[in-house]
Homo-oligomer: A and B are copies of this chain.
């Protein structure tokens, strides 16, 4: 879900937290740390980002788009809301 949200662009922590409901901030921080460790997500934003602080996907993270698309296709077919 974090990756899904960040595929739309960099996000402040509070916007991530809002977009991902049902997960406590503590757990969200933990997950973000894991994704940073795996170099999928980074806090290094530059001038091209609209926001000053927050999270964005690395190139490695953005490469997960094809995976997320297939997950979405699968969920559309097999998972009821």
Contacts and interface: CB of A to CB of B under 8 A. Distances in A.
Interface of A: 60, 63-64, 66-67, 69-71, 73-74, 77-78
A81 to B, nearest CB: 15
Interface of A is mostly: helix
A80 to B, nearest CB: 11
Contact of A66 (B60, B63, B64, B73): B73
A53 to B, nearest CB: 26
A72 to B, nearest CB: 10
Contacts of A60: 78
B66 A70 contact: yes
A73 B60 CA distance: 12
